[in-house]
Amino acid sequence: MQNIPVYSEWEMPISEIADKAKEARKLIIDMAATPTGCHIGGSLSVIDLLVVALAKYGHDPNSSVILSKGHAAAALYASLYVYGRLSSNPAESYGKQGSLYTGHPNHKLPGIPFATGSLGHGVAYAAGWALAQKLKGTGGLGIVIGGDGELQEGLCWETAQIAQAQSLSNFVYIIDCNGGQNDGMIEDISPIRNVKERFKAFGFAVKEIDGHRHEDIFEAIAPDRDKPLAILARTIKGKGVAALEGHPDSHYAKIPANLAKRWKVSLT
Amino acid sequence: MTVLLSGRDAYKDELANLAETEGRIICLETDLGGKNHPFQKRHPERFLNLGIAELAGVDIAAGLAEAGYVPFISTFAAFAALRASESVKLSMGYMGKNVKVVAAYGGVSGGWFGTTHHALEDIAVMQSFQNIRIACPHGEEETRRVIREAAASAEPYYIRLSRNDKFDSLYRSSDSSCRELLIEDGKLTKSLSQLCLISVGEQATELCKELAKEYESITHAHACYVDSQILQTYVEPLKALSNRFLVVEEHRATGGTASYLALLMPKHQVYSHSCGDQWPTYGGSHTEVLADLGFGLEPLRRQIQTILGGTDGI
């Protein structure tokens, strides 16, 4: 019998991480079925990255996992909820008056140290966290999950410049490469050429992975020994819902409850 | 004889002193700290020049603060308040991260460097972000005190300094905080004065010192902190001084200290001696650029006379 690999400090088998991801996807769909709707396409593309990063480092007090593409807040809330970090179901009050579940990550919630969504800031914040851990010698990581559209923000590159200059080998920059942005596809709006080479030129180690394969994500998220690390995670916008997958219009959706029910049943 | 330091140099020296006993202090520069930085010499392991990256620098400082450090990040006021303003708003204002921004070259202290390096809008920008303490110290001693207060506080700070001018600070008792309004010596009377000058920043305070000496009937109150929350604490002490106030501030009138005090004291007359609405276009020293903008001793004297009804009114 094949041994089940252990993928976190709290000994979660990879099969369980897959279950968590599926559970989180259902919550994201539920948030799309609220009166406000949510950024469903990017949330479904990034969720596997989030559930693995949080499984591996979410309980390490010296490491910090930041979602910089904050419009995918539904994915962050969902992943924190399925791990028990949030006590209330985000889909029940998402976007409602008096709810802390706002459309971009709310730092008043447990597990969210920094409010993001104005793009690029989470990248620099995570670099600051990594710098602090380096100064303290804790071995902790600053892990940021950003978007490929977000790379159009100069702040990302300003931070990359500093990360290499400060030799932040404990800085991990995961990029959810789903190819989309608010108004359409990146390729049609402001194509980002040679991303891998760009990061290498900035002094990063670079890994390219399938951003939906949990084993690959887990193996990739490890600090490089002498360089900051960029992980280019190839993902599909709207992953898991056939009607949304790869569709530029899946960026934001507000759907009826019966459709949400069908989509949840159809999740693979 | 002790050599007087400019506010900018006093900041560097005082922070290096504090870091002797406070291991959490980190000194960040964005390539405008100059060579021979005393903090770098004394604590090289906690001194980081991040390069020309103000926006990322403030967010990086927020990450350091979250991890328990007390980061001081310094750059020119124009870049701290304007280029990095979104980071300041989010990290410091909204999230209250314990970051201290030390902004040199406030106002037009850059002189001949030109408008790109001037900051006549910074207080307005910062004042609109709630929860950030804004200090505009005058002279070496007050600057040192503000740095100590900032280091001891868990609140985010914006500390506006000038360039290289050196001034003796007004006397303040050792047990009083710079958050308290400072009334210049010998000017407290039982009755309300005809006019109270309120000085903010170095050049303004020097002007007010001069004119308060000249006119017996004028009081001079020096405001070191000018954020909206601390300005509220000045209202009652100010009302005890006069019914008329003239705020002297190296800033635009829009969004300046005078405009906020006018909101806080709707039944009082609050005037402003500021740098007006013009863009500083011409070269010259700090004082010369101010003069081009109508800010200086003579224009201020004329304004006082106008407020008080001409020379006969004084």
User: How does pLDDT run across B285-301, given as a tens digit for each residue?
Assistant: 999 999 999 999 999 99
* Nearest-Cα residue of chain A relative to residue B30: A162
* Nearest-Cα residue of chain B relative to residue A63: B67
Lowest mean pLDDT among A226-240, B46-60, B186-200: B186-200
Report the pLDDT value the prediction gives residue B55, as an integer from 0 to 100: 97
A contact set with B (CB within 8 A): 64, 107, 113-115, 118, 120-121, 123-133, 135-136, 142, 154-155, 158-159, 161-162, 165-166
Whether chain A has a CB inside 8 Å of the CB on B22: the answer is no
- Whether residues B60 and A162 touch (CB distance < 8 A) is answered with yes
Distances in Å between the Cα of B225 and the Cα atoms of B119, B157, B184, B269 are 17, 10, 16, 21
Report the pLDDT value the prediction gives residue B189, as an integer from 0 to 100: 62
Q: Indicate if the pLDDT at residue A10 is higher than 60.
A: no
Whether chain A has a CB inside 8 Å of the CB on B56: the answer is yes
Nearest to B51 among A125, A126, A161 (CB): A161
Q: Indicate if the pLDDT at residue B310 is higher than 80.
A: no
Q: Indicate if the pLDDT at residue B244 is higher than 50.
A: yes
Question: A200 vs chain B: nearest CA distance in angstroms?
Answer: 20
Q: What is the mean pLDDT of chain A?
A: 93
Q: Tell me how far apart the alpha carbons of residues A129 and B117 are, in angstroms, rounded to a whole number.
A: 30
Ramachandran assignment for B255, one of left (phi > 0), alpha (psi -120 to 50 degrees), beta (any other): left
Amino acid (one-letter) located at B127: Q
Ramachandran assignment for B309, one of left (phi > 0), alpha (psi -120 to 50 degrees), beta (any other): left
Report the pLDDT value the prediction gives residue A224, as an integer from 0 to 100: 74
Give the number of A-B residue pairs with CB atoms closer than 8 Å: 94
Q: Indicate if the pLDDT at residue A4 is higher than 50.
A: no
**3-state secondary structure at position A120:** coil
**3-state secondary structure at position A206:** strand
Q: Indicate if the pLDDT at residue B155 is higher than 60.
A: yes
Give the mean model confidence (pLDDT) for residues B98-123: 96
Report the pLDDT value the prediction gives residue B154, as an integer from 0 to 100: 98
Write out chain B residues lying below 8 Å of A130, CB-based: 63
Whether chain A has a CB inside 8 Å of the CB on B53: the answer is yes
Q: Indicate if the pLDDT at residue B84 is higher than 90.
A: yes
Q: What is the mean pLDDT of chain B?
A: 95
Surface-to-core class of residue B175, CB atoms within 10 Å of its CB (0-12 exposed, 13-18 middle, 19+ buried): exposed
Q: Indicate if the pLDDT at residue A259 is higher than 80.
A: yes
Which residues have a Cβ under 8 Å from the Cβ of B47 and sit 6 or more positions away? B26, B27, B29, B37, B39, B40
Q: Tell me how far apart the alpha carbons of residues B91 and B100 are, in angstroms, rounded to a whole number.
A: 11
- Whether residues B53 and A135 touch (CB distance < 8 A) is answered with no
Report the pLDDT value the prediction gives residue A249, as an integer from 0 to 100: 84
Q: Tell me how far apart the alpha carbons of residues A180 and A177 are, in angstroms, rounded to a whole number.
A: 8
Whether chain A has a CB inside 8 Å of the CB on B131: the answer is no
Whether chain A has a CB inside 8 Å of the CB on B45: the answer is yes
Per-residue pLDDT band at B1 (split at 50, 70, 90): low
Nearest to B63 among A118, A126, A154 (CB): A126
Surface-to-core class of residue B309, CB atoms within 10 Å of its CB (0-12 exposed, 13-18 middle, 19+ buried): exposed
Whether chain A has a CB inside 8 Å of the CB on B60: the answer is yes
DSSP conformation class of B3: P
Whether chain A has a CB inside 8 Å of the CB on B48: the answer is yes
Surface-to-core class of residue A123, CB atoms within 10 Å of its CB (0-12 exposed, 13-18 middle, 19+ buried): buried
How far out from the chain centre does Cα A16 lie? 18
Q: Indicate if the pLDDT at residue A1 is higher than 50.
A: no
> What percent of chain B has a predicted confidence (pLDDT) above 90?
93
Question: A126 vs chain B: nearest CA distance in angstroms?
Answer: 6
Give the mean model confidence (pLDDT) for residues B1-9: 89
A139 neighbors A62 (Cβ within 8 angstroms):
yes
Report the pLDDT value the prediction gives residue B298, as an integer from 0 to 100: 97
Identify the residue whose tokens are 């950024």.
A39
Q: How many CA atoms lie within 13 A of B31 on its CB side?
A: 7
DSSP conformation class of B192: P
Per-residue pLDDT band at B186 (split at 50, 70, 90): low
Q: Indicate if the pLDDT at residue A179 is higher than 50.
A: yes
Question: B55 vs chain A: nearest CA distance in angstroms?
Answer: 7
Give the mean model confidence (pLDDT) for residues A230-248: 95
Per-residue pLDDT band at A115 (split at 50, 70, 90): very high
> What percent of chain A has a predicted confidence (pLDDT) above 70?
96
Question: B77 vs chain A: nearest CA distance in angstroms?
Answer: 19
Amino acid (one-letter) located at B231: L
A149 neighbors A172 (Cβ within 8 angstroms):
no
B273 neighbors B253 (Cβ within 8 angstroms):
no
- Identify any residues that bridge with B133 across adjacent strands, giving them in sequence order: B157
Identify the residue whose tokens are 């008056």.
A97
* Nearest-Cα residue of chain A relative to residue B47: A135
- Whether residues B66 and A114 touch (CB distance < 8 A) is answered with yes
Report the pLDDT value the prediction gives residue A9, as an integer from 0 to 100: 46
Write out chain A residues lying below 8 Å of B79, CB-based: none
Which residues have a Cβ under 8 Å from the Cβ of B32 and sit 6 or more positions away? B74, B75, B76, B104
Give the mean model confidence (pLDDT) for residues A159-176: 97
Order across the sheet with A171-177: list the strands.
A64-67, A142-147, A171-177, A229-234, A205-210
| Dihedral sign, Cα of residue B46, residue B49, residue B55, residue B56 | negative
pLDDT tens for A191-217 read 999 999 999 999 999 999 999 999 999
Question: B133 vs chain A: nearest CA distance in angstroms?
Answer: 21
Q: Indicate if the pLDDT at residue A7 is higher than 70.
A: no
Question: A220 vs chain B: nearest CA distance in angstroms?
Answer: 23
Give the mean model confidence (pLDDT) for residues B54-80: 98
Q: Indicate if the pLDDT at residue A5 is higher than 60.
A: no
Nearest to A124 among B46, B59, B67 (CB): B59
